[in-house]
Amino acid sequence: MLERIKASLVSLAPAEQRVGRLVLEDPRAFASLPVSVLSERAHVSKPTVVRFCRSMGYDGLSDFKLKLAGSVSEGVPFIHRSVDTDDKTGDVMVKVIDNTVAAFLKYRNDASTTAIEKAAEALAATYQTGKRIEFFGVGNSGIVAQDAQHKFFRLGVNTIAYSDGHMQVMSASLLQPGDCVVVISNSGRTRDLMDACDIARKHGATTIVITASGSPLAAAGHIHLAADHPEGYDRYSPMVSRLLHLMIIDILATCVALRIGGGRLQPMLREMKVNLRAKRYT
């Protein structure tokens, strides 16, 4: 968040630049002070402080301060620390956990709620019309796609997941307007997923992509849910990215469940839990 503010300063109006510099000088103080004090310290008007927050992509001062407080919380590293060959078990544990927590908090601060809302609305609309929701992914992302299918079918959604490139292309060829496909990729450069996404879009299906910003796949879908992190997918098996994708699926599933409503959903989930009790030892 602070890096984005620093990079954006040159493009802001002079008055907003003063607010941005005030944030960078002492972000913790900025997050806790009232707007009257902030405007006085930056030598700008109160509306200018709010305008700066909106220029940075936030709803207003309250939203900006909430995200700022989260991004400067003490005790959480906001850099990716690579595991070294001579690391002890305790070092590995700390680095893996810290990298995961940092990625989650960064996503909380940076994520576009507008994009998530659009994706949730599209998925809920597909459910309401009884159309198909499909999840595509390969490798680690294929496992995430299976988890997504597991989450959504429990909501009574007509859904399936494919991790094979040939099956994805064949299924995408059968999609129709009103259907929805969620394509999950760490790199956003997998040829099979790009082909399937293009075919699904050509057939009129709504395409939601969960992938890195700036990747070819990010530009291929109707709705892009950015999943950005410093993990090098070319060196190690993706860990943080997989967990980040799973979290995004959890957010979408929860948003869709709320849109379906408890009147229809809760009785079905209760019956499902009752029926599963026989599968467990008492």
Positions in the chain whose pLDDT score sits under 50: 74-79, 234
Rounded distance between C-alpha atoms, residue 281 and residue 49, angstroms: 59
56: which 2 tokens?
A: 């940075």
Regarding pTM above 0.85, the answer is no
113-271, CATH topology level: Rossmann fold (3.40.50)
Which of 144, 147, 138, 186 minimizes the C-alpha distance to 166?
Answer: 138
Q: d(Cα 279, Cα 282) in Å, to the nearest integer?
A: 10
* Angstrom distance (rounded) from CA 102 to CA 218: 23
What's CA 17's distance to the chain center, in Å? 29
Question: Tens digits of per-residue pLDDT, 192-244?
Answer: 999 999 999 999 999 999 999 889 999 999 999 999 886 655 455 567 889 99
Looking at CATH, the fold of the domain delimited by 2-71 is given as Arc Repressor Mutant, subunit A (1.10.10)
- So what's the pLDDT on residue 75? 45
Dihedral angle, C-alpha 7, 13, 17, 19, nearest 10 °:
-120
Q: What pLDDT is attached to residue 231?
A: 64
Q: Residue 207: how many CA atoms within 13 Å on its side-chain side? A: 25
Alpha-carbon torsion (44, 45, 46, 47), positive or negative: negative
Kindly report the three-state secondary structure assignment for every residue of the chain: CHHHHHHHHHHCCHHHHHHHHHHHHCHHHHHHCCHHHHHHHHCCCHHHHHHHHHHCCCCCHHHHHHHHHHHCCCCCCCCCCCCCCCCCHHHHHHHHHHHHHHHHHHHHHHCCHHHHHHHHHHHHHHHHCCCCEEEECCCHHHHHHHHHHHHHHCCCCCEEEECCHHHHHHHHHHCCECEEEEEECCCCCCHHHHHHHHHHHHCCCEEEEEECCCCCHHHCCCEEEECCCCCCCCCCCCCHHHHHHHHHHHHHHHHHHHHHCHHHHHHHHHHHHHHHHHHCCC
Q: Are 244 and 111 in contact (CB under 8 A)?
A: no
Give the start-to-end residue ranges of the domains of the chain: 2-71, 75-109, 113-271
Of 159, 166, 167, nearest to 135 by C-alpha is: 159
CB-CB contact of 55 with 100 (8 Å): no
